[in-house]
Structure 1
């Protein structure tokens, strides 16, 4: 069970990094003088969705760890 939790935590951190990359890319595409407004908005939305899903994954892992510790007590 511990290895699955570790893998889940690693995946969640990687997803947060990818989400942050998409947000930075979206902000860069929305700079004045660029004609990629639609791509910038789509990139921002993708980044926010990825970060939201990775935070949900982390919350699920923490809830399962807490439940597991309460069962062992």
Structure 2
């Protein structure tokens, strides 16, 4: 499977591990929260990369793409 596709599938099934929105799928986080996090500074590592991608997806109105992936590829 294409690594980019695998990354999007993983993003679709990743939940926020801490904070106010703990347990929510990253793609379902409110836009204002993602924008706030981006201005504050995203966390290091994979979570920060995923939040950065969520920011770009929401900025371009493409979050439904990830929601469709979540439905199409259920978590094993």
Tell me which interval the TM-score lies in, with the shorter structure as reference length: under 0.3
Larger fraction in helix: 1
Larger radius of gyration: 1
- Normalized against structure 2, the TM-score is what? 0.27
TM-score of the superposition, structure 1-length normalised? 0.27
